[in-house]
A and B are shown apart, each in its own frame.
Chain A
Amino acid sequence: MARLTLTNGKVVIKPFNRIWIVLGIVIALSFLFGYVVALESEGITFRPDQLPIILKKMFSPHRGETWIDYFSYILELQNVMVMTLQMCYGGTVIGALSAVPIALLSSKNIVKTKWIYGPFRFLLNLFRTIPVTVLAVISIGMVGTGILAGMIAISLFTFGIMAKMLFELIETIDMNCVEALESTGANRVQAIRYAVFPQVFPVFIGYTIYIFETNVRSSAILSYVGITTIGTIMKDNEMTDYDKVGGAVILIFVVCVIIQLFSDLVRRKLE
């Protein structure tokens, strides 16, 4: 460690830079995880030369077809896309609304008893670890492989994230308003309605739109456990008709862009 003696006799010691500890840990973890990945990588071969070929197959018409066929196929996909959006919308709205009471019960400043909010938080954390594919398997078991199953899976997933984001938000609100209302004789429910709700509501809408975006983007995964979404097109045509896959990819991307633009607009208005 660098020591420096000043002319007045005082000794200045350069403090130890913690960045070296961080770098050390990152490098150590890299070796550990690198070893883990390398353990199984023998059978895997990379063929990056395939990438341009696949991309060309995806984003150009099939042999013997024209661009008109290609784009008319995208239009044919609208039914599946509407189904996917139905699932995402219904699931997001239901999930977000059902998260509200649980979020209130899990926030430290609303429920002041530790043995109420503690268990709720623990269960929420546990629930959030269940991957969305497993949630989908459960909902397929409940209602079959239709739109409803996707909706239930997405609502369960949304519930998990929203409850967590919302209780963290509720904990940051200004509690003086609640106190002021209670001092004028408002009960707990009134205090929540007039002091907590107005502070939380705009952000809640913002979160809901954000989760809706995420859900639309990740809905394709549901088709890998059997629910019919736009991802089914990708899964079913993966060996034969890459042009159809490409059409589905373009459609998803366009829809995602539209939703992003819309949500940016709404969020800017809310601010």
Chain B
Amino acid sequence: MNILCAGISHRNAAVDIREKFAVGPHELEETLGRIRGIDGLAGAVIVSTCNRVEYYTASVCPIRVLDGLREVLEERAGADLAPLYTHDSPASVRHLFRVASGLDSMVLGETEILGQIKQAYEAASGYGATTRHLNKLFQNAFRVAKQVRTETRITRGATSVGSVAVDLAGKIFGDLSGRHVMILGAGDMSERTARSLVSRGVRTVIVANRTFERAAKLAGEIGGMAVHFDNWQNAFESVDILICSTAAPHPIVTRGKLEPLLAGRDGRPLFIIDLAVPRDAEPSINELENVYLYDIDSLEQIVRQSLEVRRAEVVRCEQMINDHVGDFMTWMRTHNDRSL
């Protein structure tokens, strides 16, 4: 028995090609039915996400199955199959284990892919398209992914400026529900960061922008309230997180302005996320007690550190995966069912 994997991913195909191969949930049953009709194919699982479309099949003769698969895909996608990559076992097994562990993802170590593979497997299983070998393969993939996630630092840290800001807010305040956010300057990046914080439960968002209409629009979209830019200091007392991204050529949040405002805060921490260039907050503010200031460079540095940590873990992950591939291939050899 052989495990064949054929597919395309973000590594070798742009989105305009990937979308032609994508298999939506509504057409999954039909597509699985078609490829199960390929001579020599015992079972199949289709993994279709925004970054990849992959077919995992179990068969005795992978060459025959691949030809059949190409025919189906050409007909289905109506596109050039040049970017299609194929692996047979053990490379296909290793590939699935790597994909499930997030090693082949656009953002190294991301965990969403595991849930997507689980859904794909459950759907195929629900349509009766899996075999004993595919069942074992996917169960192993889930186990490997879990081990890789728990025993290495492949998922360590945040990998975008917004998620770093949310992580840091968590490390300062713990539970974010009930916290108050103020946005100074309604730019795209501050909006995205605020949305990330809202998704984590912050209570109110106050938006101050030089153009009040823009502030009111953003406040309306994220369920916050708008204030006139010149009044931001009046609304500051309850604020826990301040996101700055104005286009001002000089600092808006200065030590001189902030120190009197801090006096009425009862020692509550203040997290300032300065996304503006030139910076909106004076760097010396970070020296104030209970104030934590992060500018765009420091946030991006943390992103880089996280990615470096993840990259440094790849070797360990690959080692774990190789061990599991070896185990699975041994199992395949001892359970070599040639009857179809």
A and B, one complex?
no
Could you tell me which B residues sit within 8 Å of A by CB distance? none
